[in-house]
Amino acid sequence: MRTVRWCLVAGLTAGLALTGAPPAAATQPGAAPGDPVVRGIDLELATVLDLQDAMDRRQLSSVHLTGFYLSRIRTLDPLLHAVIETSPQALRDATASDLHRRRHGARSPLEGIPVLLKDNLDTAATARLHTTAGSFALLDARPDQDAFLVARLRQAGAVVLGKANLSEWANFRSTSSSSGWSARGGQVNNPYVLDRNPCGSSSGSAVAASAHLATVTIGTETNGSIVCPASANSTVGLKPTLGLVSRSGIVPISAQQDTAGPITRTVTDAAAVLSVVQGVDPEDPATGDAADFVDRDYLQALEPDALAGKRIGVWREPAAENPEVAAVLDDAVDVLRDRGATIVDNVELAGLDEVLAAQLPALLVEFKHDLNAYLAATPGDHPADLAGLIAFNNEHADLELPFFGQEIFELAEATGGDLTDPEYLQQRATATNGAQAMIDDAVAAHDLDAIVAPTNNAPWLTDLENGDDFTGFVSSSGPAAISGYPNLTVPGGYVRGELPLGVNFFGGRFSEPTLVAVGFAFEQATQVRRLPSFLPTLPEPAGLPAPAGGAAG
């Protein structure tokens, strides 16, 4: 199965200020950064639970940790363009967290933990951080409160370190975009090989987590924009069930598919973050349906032997035309079997083509409706609606349209944005009901605990002039994304020496505890992830001459 361009385009396919970073993809080769060690603690090996223990013992403080990341961002982010801006209040917030710990103890496993937020998550104007979706059009927007999940993070004692770069407007602007590019932040670069693409709209979040620019990060997904960048940067990405995490205060594509979730280096950290950010929000009706599920502690699911006795279905179709991806999937299946899982091979998910065909027209209607509502409710000096954004981009084409256009914006504007239109309602029902049925039917038919699939193919060369290269593209995000069901990607391997690949675990509605358990057991058995290499480009294979003009870069 090959995914058409817009499926990833939706991001899909959906202190230090870096505002105005030049929109260029050129890397700046240099020596690899030092190992991520602070106060004798190797952050590549430490989970948030280890950091809590170190802070309780006074070996480490939130101020130490926050200062380390701010310094590393200053040093390393010119290579990566993963961070749009850092919070001028971060060290003050870290100091407050340390004081709270001394006086009252930690409020949660995220007490004092620095978190980077994707730049489509509202932060109140009083926080002195912008919320722009990567566009200069929202530079003077002034949200009057934090997004619900941001408020949950603050209440848990987490330190908001700043905003991560992203594909502008969550990659729902152009059919020929380069994933990871925004007007404000420039092009995000993959930390393993800098001329490779980071994938998906939560690219800055994934790169920042992978390269140790924050302990944990938050991304958002409509279809693929948590799991694809997480996979492409050898991190863990967890897209929750729709409604488990509030969408209030998030620049939208579609209330029918949008959700936020953690991107981290370990399943442990993802479980800790999800345990904090879940919750019922009176402003988001979808969270009401999750009321029976929002008090689960996902850290309780972390059992190394959790695969024993599980029934895991293997969805091979996404890798059918990509041997290197199929090989990584084969290795993953061998691990699952060796750790006691019963493997049900070659599971079919029926009806995917029809679901994908209905998704895009539904999203176009939803995007116009939901974005116009967001803009109308957001204080500040900014375009009032989608039509105004299109006009802004045309008027500032040198900033906003230097490499690709806004065809998706124009397609969405041409719709009525009417969520009561019968044709739209049929398209949405076809997409959502079909995606839910394909997962539910497969799970029921084979008595499955989860389904495993390759997350995506190896990162491609970034090309701002021509956009993303989807030749032989692999994606398994569609069924979980369109159904609103959970999806967890875990590092699965590397191809050509340096290019990361992940494996997805997905299942039925609110099956997060099972997915976390299975993903953790797989992670502990494989220990695949390694530190990024920061190579400027892949070396030529031995024995082959370099192309004319030198290596690509």
The residues that are catalytic are: 118, 201, 225
Residue 195 near residue 462 (C-beta atoms within 8 A): yes
3-class DSSP state for residue 329? helix
Cα distance between residue 274 and residue 110, in whole Å: 11
CB-based burial label for 528 (10 Å; 0-12, 13-18, 19+): buried
H or E stretch at 506 = strand 499-506
Per DSSP, helices labelled H in 378-454 are 386-395, 397-400, 407-413, 422-446
Residue 293 vs residues 298, 381, 399: alpha-carbon distances, Å: 11, 39, 44
According to DSSP, the residues that pair with 344 across neighbouring strands are: 313
| Residue recorded with tokens 């494996």 | 503
Cα distance between residue 223 and residue 475, in whole Å: 10
3-class DSSP state for residue 521? helix
Angle between helices 512-526 and 323-338 (to 10 degrees): 100
Which residues lie closer than 8 Å to 536 by C-beta, 6 or more apart? 27, 29, 193, 194, 195, 553
DSSP letter string, 168-216: GGGG-S-TT--TTEETTTEE---SSBTTB---STTHHHHHHHHTTSSSE
Cα distance between residue 312 and residue 452, in whole Å: 7
